[in-house]
Amino acid sequence: MNLRQIGCGRVPVWAPAASKVELVTERGRTEMCRRQSGWWVAPTPLPDGTDYAFSLDSGPCLPDPRASLLPTSVHGPSRTWCAPASPGPLPKVQVLGGVMYELHVGTFTPEGTLAAAAKKLPYLKELGVTCVELMPLSAFDGNVGWGYDGINPFSVHAPYGGPDGLIDFIRAAHELQLGVCIDLVLNHLGPVGNYLGQFGPYFTSRHSTPWGDGLNVDQQGLPEPREYLLHAALRLFAIFGVDALRLDAVHAIKDDSPVHLLQELSQLVNNLEQTLGRELTLIAESDLNDISMITPVTEGGMGMDGQWDDDIHHALHVAFTGESQGYYKDFSDPDALRKVYEQVFYHDGTYSSFRKRNWGRPAGNVARWRLVACDQNHDQVGNRGMGDRPNLTAAEAAAEAAMLLLSPFTPLIFMGEEWHTKVPFTFFTSFTDEDVARDVSAGRAREFASMGWADGVPDPQDLATHQKAILDWPAARSAAGARMVKFYRKLISLRQLYHLASTEVPTRLHREGGQITLDRGRVQVHVNLDQTEIGFALPKFCKSLLWNASVQGNAVTLAPKSVAVIYQP
């Protein structure tokens, strides 16, 4: 299928079991024309901006499952959207090996739109960010939510600005030489407004998932459900000009095909790279601790370019907060931090007490920049009962930032952490279906009650839960916030100046109690999390970046809870 024909013109739709499909517009009903393999098209093209729906065998009106825009709700009509001839200038950008920044459009600014977020792009450029990662943008029920319950991966949520808003955001980013990564969900669709199964056998009981029947991507002789997901991904690259996709929870994609969905996507994206003449990046969120995810398809792997590594987050979090409950338990091992920095995965075949089984495989010599690491992200903050940020002092947060930004991995900053925001990011929704809304609220309370959070867990359906997650931009301009932003900016500049993503730069980590030293060759990070000060000699001709530390002559003193970055000019 021509990706430009989707959701516009003759609005093709796949409905193989229907004996009649009608196009419903304000002018009435018009029978569509049957084509091969269960496809239907309108007899004449619809003008751009036309509201329309489909009726299968005289049934109720249904939105187009491939529409770019659902202007009123996930239950209402679709609107045709014709993509521009070109997404605009497509500069060479750095995704993996650079510095990524994750944001949620609905809470990044008070306006909660792509247009408002675009106004902050110069700030992110000045910070040193190279690629902006947007949490899911597909249409979902209600106005506000995390976006992981989207019902149409071809669409852009109307309250965010729809497809035109995304095109404008990407153009603004590219004008600043910033890349754009979209968080795309291919493992399930949301529970409200999901009419996809009424059009055809898109789901199958052969696969069971936490969300119900799995997507039918592996039925022999039935390519359309599989192509539905593949085309949604390719369209973001080809039509919108996106530079990278972060593929959500790929371990939850159930596919028994000889060629896995991810492998086929990798091959298609490689082909598209040749056609477009620019680099396209696929990043998998996988908790399997297995580098087969980023091993080429020709070598039996999934062919992704990069993958998230939660073990790095967990080891940092435990080292700096001391928390050791749940999946953090194993990372209370004093050697955990060294192991993840030097060997990538903590669980590399070792026993995971949380999973109650051996987990993962050794990473070997894989280039470390292919692993995305963070000290905060939407999951690790939002999946806490109160959605609270790490309980760290400014000095501790600065030290953790130094450990992350000067690491060999691709660092990801979660919105607001660069000024040490305390604004929570609790899970929030705005489902209009009363039964689903009630189940989500009760389920959230029940989940955290079992973890000891008996009272006070915010109700996802309460509008205040969303409102409290909106970033506090005035705090970024306060003296304390500005100091932290400046510190982040300097760390990122050191990362770039000393090419710390290069595989030629060594990584060695030593930890003794609360004293941590990260050795990156010409750059060293010294952290003191103990309650007593420590000191060491400043190497000759070296410079320093300090937080709660001091230098007198050639003597460096680290006060309790402090960091010193030492680098050779």
Q: Which residues are catalytic?
A: 248, 285
By the 10 Å C-beta count (0-12 exposed, 13-18 middle, 19+ buried), 57 is classed as exposed
Q: Has 383 been labeled as part of a binding site?
A: yes
User: Containing H/E element for 549?
Assistant: strand 543-552
Residue 317 annotated as binding site:
no
The β-bridge relationship of strands 410-414 and 508-512 is unpaired
Torsion angle of the four alpha carbons 339, 324, 373, 425, in this order, in degrees rounded to the nearest 10: 180
Query: Contact at 8 Å (CB) between 292 and 254?
Result: no
Rg (CA), the chain: 25
Q: Are strands 244-247 and 281-284 parallel, antiparallel or unpaired?
A: parallel
Dig out the tokens for 337 from the structure: 């931090």
Q: Which amino acid is at 55?
A: S
Residue 524, classed as helix, strand or coil, is: strand
Cβ neighbour number for residue 76 with a 10 Å cutoff: 15
Alpha helix ranges (H) inside 23-112: 105-108
What would the two tokens of residue 414 be? 């979660």
SS3 (DSSP) at 271: helix
Q: Which tokens belong to 207?
A: 């696969």
Residue 310 marked as a ligand binder? yes
Answer yes or no: is 380 a known binding residue. yes
Nearest CA-CA partner of 289 in 369, 358, 376, 382: 358
Q: Is 312 marked within a binding site?
A: yes
| Exposure on the CB side of residue 375, measured as CA atoms within 13 A | 27
Mapping DSSP onto H, E and C, the string for 201-244 reads CCEEEEEEECCEEEECCCCCCCCHHHHHHHHHHHHHHHCCCCCE
Q: Are 131 and 244 in contact (CB under 8 A)?
A: yes
Residue 365, judged by CB atoms within 10 A of its CB (0-12, 13-18, 19+), counts as exposed
Q: Tell me: is residue 313 an annotated ligand-binding position.
A: yes
What are the C-alpha distances in Å from 5 to residues 24, 31, 67, 226, 467? 18, 19, 10, 18, 38
- Confirm whether residue 433 is marked as ligand binding: no
Which of helix, strand or coil describes residue 401? helix
**Residue 311 annotated as binding?**
yes
The tokens for 158 are 């109307």
Helices 394-405 & 479-497, crossing angle to 10 degrees? 20
3-state secondary structure of 563: strand
Q: Is 314 annotated as a binding residue?
A: yes
Residue 141 known to bind ligand: no
- 93 labeled part of a ligand binding site: no
Q: Distance (Å, rounded) from C-alpha 180 to C-alpha 168?
A: 12
27 is in an annotated binding site: no
Q: Is 382 annotated as a binding residue?
A: yes
User: Residues comprising the binding site for substrate?
Assistant: 246-251, 310-314, 378-383
Task: List residues forming the annotated binding site.
Answer: 246-251, 310-314, 378-383
